[in-house]
Structure 1
Amino acid sequence: MVIAQLVGCAPKTLRIEIEESGKPRLPDYPEIGFSLSYGSEAVILAISGTGPIGFDVEQIGTGAPSDDPHLPSLVLSATELLWFEGLRAPEQAKAFLSYWVKKEAVLKCLGAGLLQRPEEVTVAPPSTTRETISLPTGRFFLRSGTCSWHERNFQWAVATLEEPHDIAWRHYGELSEVALPKGFWVA
C-alpha cells in the first residue's frame, strides 16, 4: 500500500516479483527499490527512487556474539575480527550488532542476502556512519546509526548504489500527506 501510494497506482495492481536470490522487485517500476526489515517491535520499509536499496534494523541489547562464540568468525572479515577481538566483552556486543546491520544492508542491496558470505564484505568500524564499500560487483554507499523508538534503541544501516542526498524518515501515517521527491528514502 505504501509503495503503491508513492508510485501512484492501486495497491492490487502493483506487481511484485521475487528474484532467484529471494529479493523482491517491482517489474513495472525498475527504478524503485525497496527493502523490508524488522527488529523486535520495529518494522521498516526503505524505499529508493533510484534503484536497489538494502536496509537492516536490530534492537540494541537483544542477543550478543557471546551467545554463539563462533558467530563473529563467521560474519566478520579478518581485518574486522582483529579489531573486534581487541575490544572488551561489553563493547563487543554493540560492535558486532553494528557490523551485522551494515553487512546485511549491503547484502540486501546486492540482492544476495545471506546467500553471500558476510565475511567477504568488509565495512568500516562501528563509529563510521558514512562509507563507500567496493566489491567486485560494484560500489555501495552505506549509512548507519542508532535511533530510539518507544523507549527502545535500535541500530540501523542502509545501502544504495547511488550516493544519497538525504534520508527521509516517515511514520506510515504521515505518508499520505507527504510527496517525496525521487531518490528520497522512506524508512
Structure 2
Amino acid sequence: MLWLSSADNTAPALPAAWLIATQAQPANLPERSTLRRSLARKVLARQFGLAEDAVEIGHEPAGRPLIVAPHGSGLHLSLATRAGLVAIALAHLPVGVDVEQVALASEPPLAVLHPDERSWFESLPAPARPLAFAQLWSAKEAYVKALGTGFARAPESFTVQLDGSERFTVRDDQDGRHASGFIRLTKNGGHETMAAAFVMLD
C-alpha cells in the first residue's frame, strides 16, 4: 500500500492512494465533485501514460466512480474531498478512500456509531476524541465506499477498530466480512489536520 501526495506522482505498484492538498475551497457538492474528478483524471492520465482528455470517469447508479476510459483497465477507483484535500485510491480490487477534517469544536454524532465503537470512544480522554472520531468515521466511510453502497448501509451496522496509528479492522457481521485498512494523518492546503482511510476488499 502506497500513500502519494502529488498528482504528478505515479505509483510503481498498486494499491495506492493519493492525498493531494489544494488551496481550493469548494462551497458545495458540485464544486467538490468537479475538484476531485479533475484531479483524478490528472492522476489516472499520469498513471496510464495518456493525455488527460483520454481519461473519462463515470459512476455506477449508486454513485461509485468507475474508469470509463481507457476501457478495460480492470482497476477500481475511489474518490473523496474534504476541506480542499482530495483523496484518490486505485486498486485491482474494490476499494474505498475517505478523508475527514479533525473537528476540535464540534460534538461528534455518537448515535451513528456501533455500540462497541461508542463504548470505546467514550472511554477515551476528551482531548483524544476529535482525532479518534475523524479516524473512525473516515474508516467507516471508506468501507461503505468499497462495498459500493455508501451510507445506504447504516454506519452503526458494522464495527471499525483502530489498530494503532496506521491500521484499522472492520467486522461486518451482517455480511460475514472482515477487512483491514490503512489510516493516515495529513494536512490540507490550509494546514488543518485531516484523517484519511483506505480499505480494499477481497
2:76 aligned partner, one-letter code: G
Q: Is the 8 A contact 2:162 2:169 kept in 1?
A: no
Shift of 1:143: 0.5
TM-score, L = length of structure 2 = 0.66
Question: Deviations along 1:107-142, whole A, 9 cap, x unmatched?
Answer: 111111111111112111363532443431744331
> Are 1:72 and 1:96, in contact at CA under 8 Å, matched by a contact in 2?
no
Q: Given the alignment, which residue of 29, 37, 40 partners 2:80?
A: 37
Question: Do the aligned partners of 2:79 and 2:87 also contact (CA within 8 Å) in 1?
Answer: yes
Greater relative contact order (CA < 8 Å, ≥ 6 in sequence): 1
> Cα RMSD (Å) of the superposition?
2.5
Q: How do 1:22-171 and structure 2 match up within 5 A? A: 22-27=63-68, 28-29=71-72, 31-48=74-91, 50-61=92-103, 64=106, 66=107, 71-74=109-112, 76-125=113-162, 127=164, 129-135=166-172, 136=175, 138-148=177-187, 150=189, 151-162=191-202
CA distance in 2, matches of 1:161, 1:31: 15
TM-score by length of 1: 0.70
Supply the distance in 2 between the matched residues of 1:126 and 1:154 (Cα, whole angstroms). 18
Q: If each structure's strand is expressed as a fraction of its own residues, which one has the higher value?
A: 2
Q: Which aligned runs of 4 or more in structure 1 are off by greater than 4 angstroms?
A: none
The Cα shift of 1:95 comes to 1.6
Q: 1:31 to 1:139 in 2, by over 3 A?
A: farther
- Distance (whole Å) between structure 2 residues aligned to residue 125 and residue 5 of structure 1: 33
Percent sequence identity is: 28
Cα distance in 2, alignment partners of residues 43 and 116 from structure 1: 23
Q: Using a 3 Å threshold, how does the CA distance of structure 1 residues 141 and 81 change in structure 2: closer, same or farther?
A: same
Q: CA deviation at 1:10?
A: 4.2
Deviation at 1:62, TM superposition (A): 5.5
- One-letter amino acid of the counterpart of residue 140, structure 2: K
Q: Unpaired segments of 5 or more residues in structure 2?
A: 1-41
What stretches of structure 1 of length at least 5 have no aligned partner? 163-187
Rounded Cα–Cα distance in structure 1 between residues aligned with 2:153 and 2:199:
16
Query: How many pairs does the alignment contain?
Result: 156
Deviation, structure 1 residue 3 = 1.3
Tell me the SS of whatever aligns to 1:20: coil
**113-122 or 87-96, larger mean C-alpha shift:** 87-96
Distance change >3 Å, CA 137–CA 3, structure 1 → 2:
farther
